[in-house]
Amino acid sequence: MRRFLNPLRGWHVLVMILLFFGVTIGVNATFITLALQTFPGEDVPHSYVQGLEFNETIARRQAQDQLGWSARFNAVDGALLLEVLDAEAAPVSGLNLSGEMVHPDTTQACPLAFAEARPGVYRAELACETAGRWRVRVLNEGEAPFEVEYELWLP
């Protein structure tokens, strides 16, 4: 007499359901962990505090718009050049600029320390010379409200 496979029992179904949901939960947990480790989802650090200071940020930007200043960037020989011009296209001297370059894919940040190379032109050595797209943020530490963001491509 030939013996056939045992019929499907209740404990078989239970094991299959537990295995299915165990694998699903395990894969989801792995993907969530990897996603949070590679990019936390914040564009800027301390975004909650920045949200609380939103009115002050708007007031600074309105004051900057009233100045009519413009900025132009250029990357030359391992340095970042920033030219700041006023509303009449005259160079703006005496700014105390600092900033950072942020790589949007890895959130790697490189600080920028600007020094005035000639009137209205500020120079910062590039600490990170990784090729790719970078977001540059520059802020005046002095009294004049000046803040600029720029997307830079390094070959």
**Class of residue 29 by CB neighbours under 10 A (exposed 0-12, middle 13-18, buried 19+):** exposed
> What distance in Å separates the CA atoms of residue 130 and residue 67, rounded to the nearest whole number?
34
Which amino acid is residue 45, in one-letter code? P
> What distance in Å separates the CA atoms of residue 53 and residue 46, rounded to the nearest whole number?
11
Q: What is the pLDDT of residue 24?
A: 98
pLDDT: is 24 or 38 the higher one? 24
* Threshold 0.75, pTM exceeds: no
Q: What are the strands of the beta sheet with 79-85, ordered from one edge?
A: 70-76, 79-85, 121-125, 115-118
Confidence bin at 18 (pLDDT 50/70/90): very high
Highest averaged pLDDT of the listed ranges 17-26, 104-113, 129-138? 17-26
pLDDT digits over 129-146, tens only? 677 888 888 988 888 888
